[in-house]
Structure 1
């Protein structure tokens, strides 16, 4: 991201004075999809692409925000009770409100922001936007009194309360806590996590963008969360003594025992979630042993589960997964919430060029689209640039 570009737009659209510049990244997730809101485990890392903002207090009670990439400007009051209609402004408005709830005395400010996270790819540009502004507001108005976890939870609450997405905490966590060269295994219930060095010698991680855009606020995403809640309620009825909080508390025998009182669709959703919990733990163990073949095997299993049980894939993503398998790629799966976006691929360096060339050629022939390719570089989390 070009600091001077963001600064030039900020100066142009406001009073010519400069402010502070902050950056928060998007993320990849090696494995562990739709498990965060089920209290399970995830394995994300921050990337080198994200959202950058310049921000300066303006001495009023108004927020004046300019979205550089969209060439769109919005104004709202810090204490306004009406949520802005503009979709991108809802994230900024929500963060202001959620940081106020956490004791930060937010005042009016001018801001401009831009991003280089490819939109609709599953790299979570929205979490990067939330984290960037929560971090900036904490620095400017809170004297850094709010913890990193409060910043994460403020972003999640913004999604829930102002954007209509009942997400878990993985995206915001990765954006705030990321470290260059590290992936993280996060327990989404306890919030305990561990950094894993990302030193896959002989391998590369690469994203293939299907070009199919997803919209996580659609009913399809929230419907799947509701399915998990339905199964959890059935388990609570059958096992009241277990004090179950999420599907993470269930084992396979318990799940089978409620098969007669939940729908077939809800059961398939739960089967995926329990299987994914096991797969994340298997990948953690495999990485400590440099066993990338097991990592790759679990990635393919995740894709099958997301496609067949959770039903968040699409024809294009399944086709990219099959191309990876045909080329001998070690691991490949949908990344993100699904309904479009990217596949993430664990590729041996010696077949990388031939795989990418074959995928581009076949995708163009079938869909008439130029396949976009993003090599994964693991970067740092939210920070003040200057």
Structure 2
């Protein structure tokens, strides 16, 4: 049964009749990793994997939710003290509260939702959930008067204030602003953005999920962030966004070898995002792929956020003639994102499954993704 049919049927069974259907997408980031907190650029796009909800105002001050995927329900009021205990329901509660805090209108509603965004693969299913409900509440109760950037910030604030995750804006931004066949270059400092056509005829994007997440004894993200901040301070600038490699070389003797490597990656990655945008404008897919491999090498050797399994998958991609491949996300497990020519696809997938299974005792999961629209109302 199609996702849409499943949701409509479950809504009728639980609440009777029909609501209005909304969806928002998971996301990929083609290039631009660990650049967001350094004031740089990211280059995400929404994908054809979504969270979808059927929603109808109920004339009360109570929200009634049913998650098909978890087979769980939750009901809560709209005041701060009404926060639900279930973690999944807090995402929707947080969106309601953050909308109200901004002067928006939210009233009671009934909703059924489900999704096909793979969990744990780094595709931001939580941002898709937040964006779906933020868009829906804006449409149902606020005549779409809340600007799209504010919808993304509602999702981000939900993570910060109700879910305990101090995330950046990229995931929610991509989920709200996603546009079919386009990637979005977002300037994480000014929040200016630009769409770039992502036409890759004869190629496809595929994620290879290692199904591995290494438990970390310290906080590696905070340590890397501190390295970047120390170098920026030594250079007398706010963030590494304003640094060039010549600036870094000039202070190399004054900073630790580790701080040097971390800063080197960030400065080079800033330039790679811009170079990928230029290459796409020229239709130069080979340069896009080469820069993806360079990012993987930097993440593995300079930023040191890779792991054995992800490096192994990257090596297989290179051996199979994949155009570009790199870690996607924070690292230490998760996925590689791969730009694959159609005629190399079957061989690459078969080889990755066979070799990874032989070495690690389980096959990776494979997700083909297509760049698609973000948050939207689904017309019947």
Displacement of 1:228 in angstroms is 3.5
Q: Secondary structure at the match of 2:333?
A: coil
Figure out how many residues of one structure are paired with residues of the other and give that number.
377
Deviates more, 1:164-173 or 1:280-289: 164-173
Q: Secondary structure at the match of 1:32?
A: coil
C-alpha separation between the residues in 1 aligned to 2:191 and 2:66? 34
1:366 to 352, 355, 359: 359
Matched, 1:278 2:271: yes
Residues 306 and 313, structure 1, Cα contact 8 Å, conserved in 2: yes
* Deviation by residue 1:83-133 (Cα, 9 ceiling, x = unmatched): 444222222122112111222121222212111011111111111111101
Matched, 1:332 2:325: yes
Q: Secondary structure at the match of 1:212?
A: strand
Q: What does 1:130-169 align with in structure 2 at a 5 Å threshold? A: 130-169=130-169
Displacement of 1:380 in angstroms is 0.8
Displacement of 1:263 in angstroms is 5.3
In 2 relative to 1, CA 291–215 (structure 1 residues): closer, same or farther, beyond 3 Å?
farther
C-alpha separation between the residues in 2 aligned to 1:227 and 1:81? 40
Residues 224 and 269, structure 1, Cα contact 8 Å, conserved in 2: yes
Residues 323 and 340, structure 2, Cα contact 8 Å, conserved in 1: yes
Q: What does 1:120-139 align with in structure 2 at a 5 Å threshold? A: 120-139=120-139
Matched, 1:59 2:59: yes
Q: CA RMSD in A?
A: 2.3
C-alpha separation between the residues in 2 aligned to 1:177 and 1:363? 36
1:298 to 287, 291, 315: 291
C-alpha separation between the residues in 1 aligned to 2:253 and 2:37? 24
Matched, 1:251 2:244: yes
Q: Secondary structure at the match of 1:59?
A: coil
Q: Secondary structure at the match of 1:113?
A: strand
Q: Secondary structure at the match of 2:313?
A: helix
Structure 2 residue aligned with 1:9: 10
Q: What does 1:33-112 align with in structure 2 at a 5 Å threshold? A: 33-81=33-81, 83-112=83-112
Displacement of 1:268 in angstroms is 3.3
Residues 37 and 169, structure 1, Cα contact 8 Å, conserved in 2: no
C-alpha separation between the residues in 1 aligned to 2:210 and 2:374? 26
Structure 2 residue aligned with 1:113: 113
C-alpha separation between the residues in 1 aligned to 2:214 and 2:59? 39
C-alpha separation between the residues in 2 aligned to 1:381 and 1:6? 19
Residues 45 and 183, structure 1, Cα contact 8 Å, conserved in 2: yes
Residues 214 and 341, structure 1, Cα contact 8 Å, conserved in 2: no
Q: Secondary structure at the match of 2:211?
A: coil
Per the normalisation by structure 1, the TM-score is 0.90
C-alpha separation between the residues in 1 aligned to 2:288 and 2:249? 27
Structure 2 residue aligned with 1:25: 25
C-alpha separation between the residues in 2 aligned to 1:71 and 1:220? 35
Structure 1 residue aligned with 2:373: 380
